[in-house]
Amino acid sequence: MELRVTDVSRLAWTGDCLAIGLFENGIDLAGDLADLDQQLAGTLKELIADTEFKGKSGDTAITRVGSGSPIRKIALIGLGKADGLKLDGVRRAASASARLARKEKCKTLGISLPPWQNDPVLTTQAIAEGVELALHQDTRFKSEPDEKANLPEQVELLGYGGQEAALHQASQICAGVILARELVSAPPNVVNPLTMAETAQAIAADHGLSLEILEQEDCEKLGMGAFLGVAKASDLPPKFLHLTYKPEGTPRRKLAIVGKGLTFDSGGLNLKVGNSSIEMMKTDMGGAAATLGAAKVIGLLKPDVEVHFISAVTENMVSGRAMRPGDILTASNGKTIEVNNTDAEGRLTLADALVFTEKLGVEAIVDLATLTGACVVALGGDIAGLWSPDDTIAAQLMAAAERSGEKIWRMPLEEKYFEGMKSVVADMKNTGSREGGAITAALFLKQFVKETPWAHLDIAGPVWADKENGYNSVGATGYGVRLLVNWALA
């Protein structure tokens, strides 16, 4: 598929499908739309009337144009109220246009959407992201290609001529999102600690990042008892990954992104049973996948910030070597942890990763993890939870999420809840009571960051889509990549 920007008007465009965005309560045809309707022999007015199209966000309508027309089909895309249009609304409208074109087997698509806040650069980027992410299909594990794919061969963004740079940046960002999607979607016999390390090596080699891989012996020397406690049961060796991007010259900021990297989580001896969907535990490395996706994008964009990308990667398995409920682990900062649930393993790996990261002397740390089912219960499948004791970094992430369209909601760090995690025999347990489980998980992580501004994102809900939603198809979403990149570039 080729994405292009052009100054060709919708009156002059020719091709298989012309998709036009219309605002709610603003569908009375005037100006060039009236001219276009006349050119199409009244087809626009008929389509609006026949489908009772109101222009609400998510509304779509499409029809075939009479023979002899330079346009084969015309589509209408609802934008909602004009004063409520968000950048992600543009992105979603573009994805709806692309999905309609694919469904209608249109090889060429012209998209005509208004600029968001008169900003053609961000609008171009949002349209391109919406199209590319909506049409992405992961068919790596199918024996035959999907003959019903019907992907458009050419998509033109009408009225955005000269925005090639924004188009190129969108393509680079989507490359990172797609990498994260494909890592999360892949089965655990394909993506494991070894192949995650290989992915990091490829990113470093292709995009000029430096890479440090700490092997098990290296982690032992650093006292990473929490991380290694989780890794003990697996037949595959753990890999502690540290990618670094440094710009030419003095960096404007020094940041770190830490991703949870459980390539499969059986639950350990607290084995996942019943309705726990153990087969979906391949997604438990969604934080690490987003971290690697963001590393790829930063390597492509080459901004003036220094960014460290860290992930302690392993499996949580069952064997005679497995950590047991009741075991006490010692993290690399000397804190002792009584394991009262081996299925709360992600926070153990993150504990040592956060201690390692703070020693790098960065100005801010963001970790993201598919950490708790409690966060999904609280916020559902579309929204990630945000915890931070620092208002500045929390505000930065909220602004980045607003631009990327990846929803987050700030949650409380209720210190009193940590009382339930105190242990008689160690400094703390790795889980508290069931109530407020996502909060106590964040409070656990907080014990491993001393002074650096820090935020935690629980992405257990939005890492995977059970049904089509905007530019996310069923499957892995690549959640977090665009948010993290926006945060780093701010």
Q: Which residues are catalytic?
A: 272, 347
The residue type found at 141 is: F
In 3D, which of 211, 232, 210, 228 has the Cα closest to residue 219? 228
CA dist 391 to 350, 383, 394, 441, Å?
22, 19, 5, 19
Interatomic CA distance for residues 328 and 226, integer angstroms: 9
The kind and range of the H/E element at 264 are: strand 261-265
At 299, list the tokens.
């390597």
Distance in angstroms (rounded) separating the CA atoms of residues 490 and 484: 10
Report the C-alpha gap between 17 and 20 in whole angstroms.
Answer: 10
Which tokens go with 247? 């710009």
Q: Can you tell me the distance from the alpha carbon of 407 to that of 462, in angstroms, rounded to the nearest whole number?
A: 9
* Three-class DSSP labels, 400-452: HHHHHCCCEEECCCCHHHHHHHCCCCCCEECCCCCCCHHHHHHHHHHCCCCCC
- The C-alpha torsion from 113 through 115 and 121 to 123, rounded to 10°, is -50
Contact 17, 40 (CB under 8 A): no
Residues 6+ apart with CB under 8 A from 223: 330, 331, 332, 334
Calpha distance 124→75 (Å, rounded) = 19
| Positive/negative CA dihedral, 289, 294, 300, 305 | negative
- Rounded to whole angstroms, how far apart are CA atoms 381 and 472? 12
Q: Are strands 328-330 and 336-338 parallel, antiparallel or unpaired?
A: antiparallel
Q: Which helix (H) or strand (E) holds 307?
A: strand 306-316
Residue 244 exposure: Cα atoms within 13 Å on the Cβ side: 12
Partners of 472 in the β-ladder: 469
d(CA 429, CA 441): 11
